[in-house]
Amino acid sequence: MGKLIVGNWKMNGLGPALAEAQAVAAGLGGSLGGSGVRVGLCPPATLVERMARCLSGSSVLVGGQDCRAEASGAFTGDVSAEMLSEAGAVLVILGHSERRSGYGETDARVAAKVEAALRAGLEPIICVGETLAEREAGRAVAVVSTQVRGSLPQVLGGRPFSVAYEPVWAIGTGLTPTTAQIEEIHAAVRAEMSAVLGASGTRAPILYGGSVKPDNAAEILSVSEVGGALVGGASLKSADFLGIIAGAG
């Protein structure tokens, strides 16, 4: 199966940044068909609709970075999965560590958001990952396994989704785990996904995220059970992002 490479722009990007998204689409051209690589970009909510419009007709998928579990209501400042979908999103990142740590998002809250994403027809990318303290305490596998078990609702069975393993200490730091460490956690994630969801847990891709760059992408993407990448900083510049995508071919 082709890899899934998704850019997470986080809280970066005003209108002029759409030129980078267009450059990604232009750089991919029609060449994706053969390699089967799927590419997505998740801009801030304010840009989802404009990005979807300017990339329509291209192979690049547009996504949100979070959503509220409820479809509507008195939730000042929040965005629902239905709103993202109406704006043109087809993907949504859920449970990113910056949401888990900054907004106290629990596994149960993430699971409720995953259900909302499916209700709205979005393909969720569900993030998990240990902190440095948890890794140093020898708890990385246990922490990540618990997150997978708690964040993946049963209704995911048979639906398109992915899990992203993002060690918190590798995000935005330039640090990356060894390929052996990535392989160990991805195997644990796969085992947990299969235990929770049965057959469909054996198929959905497991992305790696955390300081993925053009110069380490090919090595990381060749690790067993790495089905793609979730890219933060290096997705803001089309040349870097295209360089990462080239490593997935």
- Among residues 100 and 197, whose Cβ is nearest to ligand PGA? 100
Q: How many CB atoms lie within 10 A of CB 143?
A: 18
186 labelled catalytic: no
- Binding of ligand PGA by 8 (CB under 6 A): yes
> What are the tokens at 215?
């110069």
Alpha-carbon torsion angle 127, 63, 108, 157, nearest 10: -90
Between CA 210 and CA 231 the distance in angstroms is 7
Binds ligand PGA (CB under 6 A): choice among 66, 82, 166, 240: 166
Give the binding-site size for ligand PGA (rule: CB under 6 A). Answer: 13
**In the complex, which residue's CB is closest to ligand PGA?**
232
Binds ligand PGA (CB under 6 A): choice among 55, 91, 116, 171: 171
Burial class of residue 148, CB neighbours in 10 A (0-12, 13-18, 19+): buried
Residue type, 171: I
Q: Say which DSSP state 80 is in.
A: B
166 labelled catalytic: yes
- 3-state class (DSSP) for residue 13: coil
- Among residues 65 and 85, whose Cβ is nearest to ligand PGA? 65
Residue 172 C-beta: closest distance to ligand PGA, Å: 4
- Among residues 133 and 175, whose Cβ is nearest to ligand PGA? 175
Contact set for ligand PGA, span 178-237 (CB under 6 A): 209-212, 230-234
Between CA 182 and CA 221 the distance in angstroms is 10
Catalogue the active-site residues.
96, 166
Which chain residues interact with ligand PGA by CB under 6 A? 8, 166, 171-172, 209-212, 230-234
